[in-house]
């Protein structure tokens, strides 16, 4: 995968997990709404990988019962039900606002060419680190597929920069990546012995080690 060679060398690339919550809490305490509206964009693009905690519509068009594009979801969201698994905004929506983005980061499934210049959300409800996680509920976009979708975006950006690899690398090195998965690999996999054999094949410690090793590899390539 060609994208691997670019991402591995990005010294400015940030993989954000729990630190996001600290950032958001600090922003709430130190910024008023008016101040937030005046924030300049701090980074050029924001890429999001994950599950239902940050999915903003990627499950809408796939055959699954894990959807949220209907009321009462989105009852407090300005655009109504969009596929977010919440009544309002997700925490990555808030983070994008605090970073100065003028609009929400679009879901990959609906993003237009020009929109991916500022990032894309690849997250999918019920998705996990392992490909089979959550699939008894229907289709989802597991982490490996989210990475492949990221590769598609990188190719679109390469076209935008007319094949200038230095410009592409410089642009991506300034972007922020959030990735948060793993809970579904327990809730919708390991802890469901009638649907999945993992709990009979691996001890808890072994399964945790498998998840960590696979996730570490995924983060290396995305």
The pLDDT tens digits for 120-137 are 999 999 999 999 999 999
- Please enumerate in sequence order all residues whose Cβ is within 8 A of that of 27, keeping only pairs 6 or more positions apart, or say none: 36, 94, 98
Distance between CA atoms of 158 and 169, rounded to whole angstroms?
Answer: 9
pTM of the model: 0.84
Average pLDDT for residues 46-54, to the nearest whole number? 99
Mark out the alpha helices in the chain (DSSP H runs): 2-7, 19-30, 33-37, 91-98, 143-160, 165-172, 184-185, 198-201, 204-221
Supply the angle between the helices 204-221 and 143-160 in degrees, to the nearest 10: 10
Distance between CA atoms of 142 and 128, rounded to whole angstroms?
Answer: 5
In this prediction, residue 221 carries a pLDDT of: 83
Question: Are 50 and 180 a contacting pair, CB within 8 Å?
Answer: yes
In this prediction, residue 26 carries a pLDDT of: 52
């Amino acid at each position: 995968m060609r994208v691997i060679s670019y991402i591995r060398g990005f010294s400015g690339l940030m993989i954000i997990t729990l630190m996001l919550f600290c950032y958001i809490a600090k922003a709430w305490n130190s910024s008023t709404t008016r101040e937030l509206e005046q924030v300049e964009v701090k980074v050029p693009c924001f890429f999001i990988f994950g599950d239902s905690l940050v999915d903003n519509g990627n499950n809408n068009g796939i055959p699954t019962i894990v959807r949220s594009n209907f009321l009462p979801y989105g009852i407090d969201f300005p655009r109504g039900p969009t596929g977010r698994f919440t009544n309002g905004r997700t925490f990555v929506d808030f983070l994008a606002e605090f970073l100065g983005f003028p609009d929400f980061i679009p879901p990959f499934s609906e993003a237009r060419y020009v929109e991916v210049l500022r990032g894309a959300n690849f997250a999918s409800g019920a998705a996990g680190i392992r490909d089979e996680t959550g699939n008894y509920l229907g289709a989802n976009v597991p982490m490996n597929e989210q990475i492949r979708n990221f590769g598609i975006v990188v190719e679109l950006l390469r076209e935008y920069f007319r094949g200038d690899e230095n410009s592409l690398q410089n642009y991506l090195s300034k972007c922020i990546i959030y990735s948060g998965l793993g809970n579904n690999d327990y809730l919708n996999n390991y802890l469901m012995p009638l649907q999945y054999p993992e709990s009979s094949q691996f001890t808890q410690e072994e399964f945790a080690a498998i998840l960590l090793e696979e996730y570490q590899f995924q983060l290396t390539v995305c």
